Structure 1
């Protein structure tokens, strides 16, 4: 039960929510539910390339390099769009940016059925879907939590991040079945329909801020004893791209930013870059069937949901720096022993690895977002967008490096061991992040 403001009073030009009758459900939870559905709808394409590459290659004769280039463009835009998307949400509102992102994903996926030239797949898979998914990246979850919640922010970020993972799990079986019969075009249309189906809900229920709904953020003190950080409203900011770059400039002067970016780059390297890209071929090198290895990754996805929600709950109760250090170190231990677990048969120890790695997969997101908000205040969502960009760049670099190691040595062992060492570095860096005495509402303006 939350105390809900039921009326607003006009004071000059300011509209301030006032305490009123108690309601059963705070509007913030409705917004979070719609955001969850939006992330599920946007996540459909994230699992699609691995399923659709083979039928596209067989029908058009395109090389794996061309199709991989489209995915690479998508990954880069997925990361680099995030900070600008956060600024756009401040400039034009969460609802407008989210609806536009879902339309871009739907357009990119639907237009794929019309391609007949290789450059066109770069436009649909790469540009359109990359911009759309980038605008619906993890920074979206952080923006919703920071705007609508004072209490339970970590839990909300965990739930929304889990929604992105759930989207992949929901769509993947249908995409795989449709790609086989009747074909990959129907699979692409399914993804488009999933993204577009959420747009009406976003337009109706995803309000930009608590002030738009005439309420305080969830968990805010109605008495004003614990002031709520001022939220930015659509139209308050100038050029979104300029703001994103200005935030980066100011954040780059703060050691915490570099510590978080370095840790998240290692996070991306050891998840999407290594396990996500190279676990199946590495398992195949050891004689494990590809279908079995893919099944193990599906289990990782299932436990990813549980781990991320649990991490959000823990972030609301414990020091996020310590949580990050523990997550990274456990991940490093798993990578250290992974070469010994790969074999033709799935051993019980491999199941243990898959479960633990799944719980840890994106458990780093809630504490990282919490530190961004704590350190950078109202700029925290944009800063988190830049930190997330480091995540994707780390993933791309690790995917490339691991492939080079496999080509030069004939195995992935050094890649796993190197990643384990990087996790230890991330754990140490995270544990030594300084804690400010109090949150800052915004970054300090640059000095001359």
Structure 2
């Protein structure tokens, strides 16, 4: 186990966990669960070929998973406070690993829903951005922004970066080899967490706050509900909730889940479409950093206007292209930059409107809305594809919703605390 040791300090200080070791193990855990969450997008076609399942049937499991990501993500902070970091992470990895491993023997759609939907959904929902923020706050007194950024990158870029390798493996050796590879990555993450991560940071300036909460979940859950009651009286909260539900619809629900089958309809190979998804991975990081820089200098509400408007127009353009590799790559470049660009200005607005103490709780509710909408979009898009034999209606509907979100966001510009351009 990695520990810090300084000459002249007491035994208790020498047993203090090394913060970067904790962050590294957490990074690996978040990356592996993110890869597991993103894998179904490249496995829809192999599963459909082997079992004859429709896109709607497979999408039902993915929509359950996305809904649970929102629900469990909302409760992640209370669960983490109750269990402590090590047990929290090991529980999450155990759920995801079990869901993947048992799925090797699945033969029915309900097996897929239970294993990839429920088990993987609950486990992955425990490794959201709340986890990264907690590690940064409790184990670091400096460079917290860097730590949050690095851990957020593992969660956002992980599904895209893993797509080409997983797709190639599925084409060459079958979907079960892909699942086994993901299970191995989960096991490696579990070993790192077991070796490097304690339950709480003893003897640091955050030690008391980092200890597991033995009082149980009742108090934190009541705090969550209290934050919702307070926020519900603000029109800003409802605009943010609605616009970020549309954000989930147009990203995780539509593009992340159905982009590979959409490309297959256009004649692009699964590996080629996975490469386009991989192109989005590093661009999501770049787009997020650029959006954070812009939100420090320009009005957050108007930034959201442009981000949503451009996203809506890009979806409409995609619907009417010939979906060539060049056109899809250009779409991937733009969509990658825009994927999480909405988050920094949204977070800034939440902090300015609801205060630092309540911000993470309000963000939890907004994030839950994002995931519930993504779940509905994943299933609805599959239903539309099976019924109409085309992704065109889903693309146009998502593009129109993004334009509606853009029209609603200027109201958020009043008093967001940012500098005016």
Rounded to whole Å, the distance in 1 between the matches of 2:105 and 2:355 is: 45
Contact 2:59 2:379 in 1 (8 A): no
**What's 2:243 paired with?**
263
Q: Which runs of 5+ in 2 are unaligned?
A: 1-5
| Residues 247-286 of structure 1, C-alpha deviations (whole Å, 9 max, x = no match) | 4333323333323221211111111223234445555555
Query: 1:213-252 residue pairs with structure 2 within 5 A?
Result: 213-215=203-205, 233-235=211-213, 238-239=217-218, 240-252=220-232
> Does residue 24 of structure 2 align to residue 33 of structure 1?
yes
1:356 aligned to 315, 334, 352, which one? 334
Contact 1:326 1:427 in 2 (8 A): yes
Rounded to whole Å, the distance in 2 between the matches of 1:153 and 1:266 is: 29
Rounded to whole Å, the distance in 1 between the matches of 2:231 and 2:122 is: 24
1:253 aligned to 206, 216, 233, which one? 233
Cα 1:343–1:50 change in 2 (3 A) is same
**What's 2:317 paired with?**
337
TM-score (ref. length: structure 1) = 0.74
Partner of 1:108, secondary structure, is: helix
**What's 1:426 paired with?**
405
Cα 1:364–1:95 change in 2 (3 A) is farther
1:367 positional shift: 3.6
Contact 2:90 2:190 in 1 (8 A): yes
1:104 positional shift: 1.0
1:313 positional shift: 5.2
**What's 1:101 paired with?**
92
| Residues 346-374 of structure 1, C-alpha deviations (whole Å, 9 max, x = no match) | 44x65433212111112223443444455
Contact 1:207 1:213 in 2 (8 A): no
**What's 1:84 paired with?**
75
Q: How many residues align?
A: 404
Rounded to whole Å, the distance in 1 between the matches of 2:242 and 2:279 is: 28
User: Which has the higher mean CA deviation after the structures are superposed, 352-361 or 59-68?
Assistant: 59-68
Query: 1:7-156 residue pairs with structure 2 within 5 A?
Result: 29-60=20-51, 64-145=55-136, 147=138, 155-156=146-147
| Residues 192-225 of structure 1, C-alpha deviations (whole Å, 9 max, x = no match) | 2212212243345445666x351469xxxxxxxx
**What's 1:197 paired with?**
188
Contact 2:63 2:374 in 1 (8 A): no
Cα 1:152–1:214 change in 2 (3 A) is closer
Contact 1:157 1:366 in 2 (8 A): no
1:386 aligned to 365, 376, 379, which one? 365
1:71 positional shift: 2.1
**What's 1:398 paired with?**
377
Query: 1:308-327 residue pairs with structure 2 within 5 A?
Result: 308-312=288-292, 320-327=300-307
Rounded to whole Å, the distance in 1 between the matches of 2:278 and 2:59 is: 22
Contact 2:41 2:256 in 1 (8 A): no
1:337 positional shift: 2.8
| Residues 317-340 of structure 1, C-alpha deviations (whole Å, 9 max, x = no match) | 666545433322332332243334
Partner of 1:253, secondary structure, is: coil
Rounded to whole Å, the distance in 2 between the matches of 1:39 and 1:159 is: 11
Q: Which runs of 5+ in 1 are unaligned?
A: 9-16, 18-25, 218-229, 439-448
Rounded to whole Å, the distance in 2 between the matches of 1:372 and 1:145 is: 20
1:422 positional shift: 2.8
Contact 1:329 1:427 in 2 (8 A): yes
Contact 2:72 2:125 in 1 (8 A): yes
Contact 2:300 2:345 in 1 (8 A): yes
